[in-house]
Amino acid sequence: MFSALRQASRSVSSTRALRTPASRPVAAAFTLRPLARTLVTTKYTKDHEAVIYDDQKNIGKVTITDYAQTSLGDVVFVELPTTDTEVAQGESIGAVESVKAASDIFSPVSGKVVAINEELGSQPSLVNKSPEDKGWLCEIELSKPSEMDDLMSAGEYQAHCEES
C-alpha cells in the first residue's frame, strides 16, 4: 500500500513539473533558501545566574537559576539595570529581594543592556514561577562573546550545586 502512495505522489510531482510555464525554467520554481544556523546556548555562573545566548542575534538573556530562586524563597522585589547601560562580566547589575533575604545579581557577560523585563516591576513572583523563562531579568548585547566559554555548562553547574 505504501509503495502505491509513493508512486502516486511521484506522479503528481512530475505532473506539476510539466505544468510549469515554458517561459520560466523548472529549476527557478524550486529555488532553495539558505538556512540560517542559530545556536541557543545556556551557560551558568557560580553565583547562580544563567545566560541564554543566541549566537545569531548576539544577545544573552540573563536569568537567575531555579536553584537560586528556590534558595531565596518568595521574591517580593527585583531591581534591574537600565537599558543602554554598559556592563562588565561579574559586575553587579541589580538585586533580588525575597521574604528570606536579598541577593545581588551579577552580569554573566560584558556588553550593553538592550532590554529589561518590565513585568517584574508589578509581578516579581515571576522569578519564582518561571525563573529561566517568564522571570528573565534583562537582555545584554555581548561585547565579548568569547566570555561564554568561561561559564559553566548545565552538567558543570549541576555538579557545582551538588557540592554546595
- Domain harbouring 128, CATH code: 2.40.50.100
Report yes or no: 107 and 64 within 8 Å, Cβ to Cβ. Answer: no
Can you tell me the distance from the alpha carbon of 73 to that of 52, in angstroms, rounded to the nearest whole number?
A: 23
Q: Is residue 4 part of a domain?
A: no
The residue-averaged pLDDT of 20-31 equals 49
For residue 147, give its domain range. Answer: 40-159
* pLDDT tens sequence across 42-82: 999 999 999 999 999 999 999 999 999 999 999 999 999 99
Q: Is the pLDDT of residue 153 over 90?
A: yes
Q: Is residue 98 part of a domain?
A: yes
Q: Is the pLDDT of residue 20 over 80?
A: no
Report yes or no: 136 and 62 within 8 Å, Cβ to Cβ. Answer: yes
Counted domains in the chain: 1
Helix (H) or strand (E) segment spanning residue 43: strand 40-44
Radius of gyration of the chain (CA): 24
Q: Is residue 8 part of a domain?
A: no
Q: Is residue 143 part of a domain?
A: yes
Residue 48 makes CB contacts below 8 A (sequence gap 6+) with 64, 65, 67, 68, 71
Q: Is residue 3 part of a domain?
A: no
The residue-averaged pLDDT of 102-109 equals 95
